[in-house]
Amino acid sequence: MDRVVVTTQVVARIGKWLFLGVLLVLSLVPLLWLVLSSFKTTPELFRGPFTLPRHWSFANFTGALSTLPLVTYFRNSVVVSAAGTAATIAISTMAAYALRHKFRLNGLTRNFLMAGLLVPFTPFMTPIFYIIERLGLYNTVWGLALVYAGMMLPVGFLIIKTYMDTIPEETLEAARIDGASFHGVFFRVIVPLTAPGLATAAIFLVISDWNELLFANLLTASPSAQTLQVGITTFLTGYASNYPQAFAGTAMAMAPTVLAYALLSNRVIDSMTASALK
């Protein structure tokens, strides 16, 4: 009987690691192919798409930087992602705190905010375009950030509300007994204790906003407002396509989000552990 249990555990462990290995390969192979292809010339890419570059050169990276205003695209992506994420987190945090209190429309409001998770935004392209155009925000980074804030609000609310609900009510009661006002409890107790949840939401929202292409392409028309994702598509046109430069631009566009996640994910885990110990 013991041998059967041990064998089952070994098989389960091997199956788990095989499954994780397959997922790792499926995740890394496209990324590695993209990076390797960015060092090739166009003829070399088509002759051997899965071979190593014969001559490692940064010509595609320098060519991408000189061909397109990637610095402007990068700045626009930073502004849009930062502004959209900040607005989403601010609104989501206030909404989650308000819903900790009992009032008549509490459940209806919560369900309304959560329902956004089930609504696809593609059918609303025309109304969103019309509203942004009428507000005079078409072809501006602020109009795009406003759309991102609305699109990602249900996700940000879900993450923050779930984490905020773990704060004991006794902690808030103690703050009220000490004389903290409604806003004092929010800024001095809720926000500090919810910081790990806010960081988690911020990472997810920034990456989502950074990589979004559909509305970035719909609501912008010039490099002054276009993001990196839109700028990279200009390498691939119906008349001429420079795939290696497009891959180089894509690699540069991916680098900030990969670096941000690598640096901030450990801080989120550490903050959550410290909060649990407290």
Closest CA to 231 of 251, 216, 241: 216
pLDDT for 186 beyond 80 = yes
Closest CA to 94 of 200, 207, 182, 199: 182
Q: Which range in 135-139, 171-175, 270-274 is most confidently predicted, on average pLDDT?
A: 135-139
CA distances from 255 to 62, 72, 210 (A): 16, 16, 11
Section 230-236 average pLDDT? 80
Section 152-175 average pLDDT? 89
Q: Residue 268 has what pLDDT?
A: 58
Closest CA to 240 of 53, 21, 42: 42
Q: When comparing pLDDT for 144 and 5, which is higher?
A: 144
pLDDT for 59 beyond 70 = yes
- For 78-205, strand residue ranges (E) read none
Residue 241, φ and ψ in degrees, nearest 5: -130, 120
Beta-bridge partners for 241: 236
pLDDT band for position 175 (cuts 50, 70, 90)? confident
Query: d(Cα 74, Cα 229) in Å, to the nearest integer?
Result: 9
Mean pLDDT lowest among 29-43, 144-158, 210-224: 29-43
CA distances from 216 to 5, 125, 183, 195 (A): 55, 11, 36, 29
pLDDT band for position 47 (cuts 50, 70, 90)? confident
pLDDT band for position 76 (cuts 50, 70, 90)? very high
Query: d(Cα 262, Cα 65) in Å, to the nearest integer?
Result: 25
Q: When comparing pLDDT for 10 and 115, which is higher?
A: 115
CA distances from 101 to 166, 182, 226, 274 (A): 14, 11, 41, 27
Q: Which residues of 180-201 are buried (b: 16+ CB within 10 A; e: fewer)?
A: beeeebbeebbeebbbbbbbbb
60-274 folds as MetI-like fold (1.10.3720)
Assigned token pair, 219: 């609501």
Query: d(Cα 157, Cα 201) in Å, to the nearest integer?
Result: 9
**Dihedral sign (CA 234, 239, 243, 244):** negative
Section 11-34 average pLDDT? 86
Helix (H) or strand (E) holding 112: helix 106-115
pLDDT for 278 beyond 60 = no
Section 186-201 average pLDDT? 88
The pTM of this model reads 0.81
